[in-house]
Amino acid sequence: MKFLPLPEAETSLVILPIILENQKLGVFAAEFLYREELDLKEKKLFISIVAALIAQTFKIENAVSEERRKLTDENSHLRQELKEKYDFSQIIGNSNPMRQVYNQVSQVARSNATVLLRGESGTGKEMIAHALHYNSLRSKQAFIKINCAALPETLIESELFGYEKGAFTGADKRKKGRFELADGGTLFLDEIGDLPTQTQIKLLRVLQEKEFERLGGTETVKINVRLITATNKNLEEEISKGNFREDLFYRLNVFTIFLPPLRERKSDILFLAEHFLKKYERIHGKSVRRISTPAIDMLTAYHYPGNVRELENAIERAIIVCDENVIHGHHLPPTLQTAEVSDTVMKLTLSSAVAAFESDLIQDTLKTTNGNCAQAAILLDTTERIINYKISKYEINPKRFRR
């Protein structure tokens, strides 16, 4: 600290460096009127306190700036991860029905058109909705979703459009609805076919005018939202029954994408199964290398009323119960192992269970040896004669496993 008396103006100038973590940030200077009763020690104490406060202010500002930078970087990283996760290349399947879906998604993704996704439950409508958003011009904005069937009729309107303070009992403050939260981005309304009739009227107005009022309020809120809807219902039938407004249907039906059920894209089952195998192998900390040929036959023969979601659950269950590095038929859910779902249940005996296990094991070994019976016999610690006998007994074709 420097103390410079200035006798001509009867003042004194006190200069003190501002130091933070042994680094000089600058200096702080104060000019005092000369007083006998105010000695140098008091001036030094005052200037030291002020300089310390300035240094702490710099420290807090640096910490806030660093935290803000970290949050910005983390936000950008998460958005990039989401964009990669829902990139078109991450959607599994190369069957003709799915190729048509890819083409439609590519055509409409970068527009602002309203999209209606139709298909059975479990076909992947939500994944397509994510892909549409994260490959659109609004990908850096919010993606808000709501399941219309999951909320009671008394809550759906307040969730969509928000409410003002005092709008109803328990509304102690204003709350923004999903439309406001999605402003500038995308709003995904799943199970739109279950939307109550009264709410359909208000939704129609939002689509037409791009504005609405919160529940219990008079202020008009203008929004800029891209709407994506999905349903597993036949909306034409719902219109004829009076459960869905025809004018709303035409507003939503700008660009429709039909998602095929899994039974119509059998060639994708193996690709999906392998994808879920890698996913849940990592989640559950297992080392499962592959799915045996008989298990694949079971997977492809099943008709999947629950579609892709049911297949995913079946693979996760198989990985949980599997205690080796290959998923066999007996690891799959009972509905895939028997004909219960088709009303052709077979009575399982000890001999038939042993035969099924032997057939499964031989086919899996033949797959490992590329159809070589001699090598399969060695791996199974038996003779080639016995292997050939079993192959003939169970009507196994070794050529099927040759590459």
Which tokens in the block code for residue 196?
């109550």
* Mean of pLDDT over the chain: 83
Global pTM? 0.68
Cβ neighbours around 304 below 10 Å, total: 21
pLDDT value at position 341? 40
Sequence letter at residue 385? R
* Strands of the 2-6 sheet, one edge to the other: 2-6, 11-20, 23-33
Distance CA 400, CA 25 (A): 77
Residue 18, beta-bridge partner list: 26
Q: What is the mean pLDDT of residues 89-113?
A: 87
Distance CA 394, CA 335 (A): 23
Please check whether residue 187 is in contact with residue 225, taking contact to mean a CB–CB distance below 8 angstroms. yes
Question: Which value, in Å, is the radius of gyration of the alpha carbons in the chain?
Answer: 34
pLDDT value at position 340? 42
Residue 15, beta-bridge partner list: 2, 29
**Residue 291 half-sphere exposure toward CB, CA atoms < 13 A:** 27
Distance CA 80, CA 66 (A): 21
Look at residue 117 and tell me whether its pLDDT is greater than 80: yes
Burial pattern 176-212, b for ≥16 Cβ within 10 A else e, equals ebbbbebbebbbbbbbbbbbbeebbebbbebeeeeeb
172-204 pLDDT, tens per residue? 888 899 999 999 999 999 999 999 998 999 999
